[in-house]
Amino acid sequence: MNLALFDLDNTLLAGDSDVEWPRFLIAQGALDADHYNRENDRFYADYKAGTLDIYAFLDFQLAPLAAHSREQLDAWHRQYLDSHIRPIITAKGRALVQQHQANGDCVVIITATNRFITGPIAAELGVAHLIATEAEVGADGRYTGKPLGTPCFQDGKITRLNAWLAERGQTLGDFPRSWFYSDSRNDIPLLEQVSDPVAVDPDDALRSHAQAYGWPVISLR
């Protein structure tokens, strides 16, 4: 069996679920548009530049989860999936996932975006295995607004992947081939660990790196 790892945002999606979620909440009147858009734009610029303070961002990003009941969040997520996510799932992305599954590969989505947002998206894509940033849940079953464990971001993706594989009694070296598909410079550390790194609609930094090292560059748009 081989291993096929997929980033989610701007890879399988023609957009960013972390950006679309607050847009949805703003439309519901659950967030102040001016404040949230300003701060989100600032963090997103840092992300694209490779300078994001992931813990500061998670404090900002996870705060709305703590402000509402799980029932309300789940109800909103069903609407969000239908209105904001299904339209940006790329047909080529779905087909590539299905191709790897048909080949008998172990398919995993590995994403910096938290599990609350991405869990239903992975299910929509038919992917059973998800490695994502975890959001802490309190004794009352509500989100606390804080991350749990190592964020699945930059080098943290390697840490989280290795931990996931160890739980299965495996290592990355156990797979004859391992693919990782991503769009982002932030994923270069993990791309360098697999046998088959693939840049997907990459940002400028990843495109330059891929070209320098002879990695394939593809588009799923």
Which of the residues are catalytic?
7, 9
Residue 173 DSSP SS3: helix
**Distance between the two ends of the chain, CA-based, in angstroms?**
28
Name the burial class of residue 199, with classes exposed (0-12), middle (13-18) and buried (19+) by CB atoms within 10 angstroms of its CB.
Answer: buried
Contact at 8 Å (CB) between 201 and 221? yes
Integer CA distances (angstroms), 69 to 65, 142, 143, 144, 195, in order = 8, 6, 8, 11, 43
Residue 113 DSSP SS3: strand
Contact at 8 Å (CB) between 57 and 43? yes
- What does the DSSP 8-state code read for residue 80? H
Q: Hey, which residues does 218 pair with through a beta bridge? A: 200
Q: Nearest CA to 90 among 191, 157, 183, 203?
A: 183
Q: Looking up tokens 């996510």, which residue turns up?
A: 85
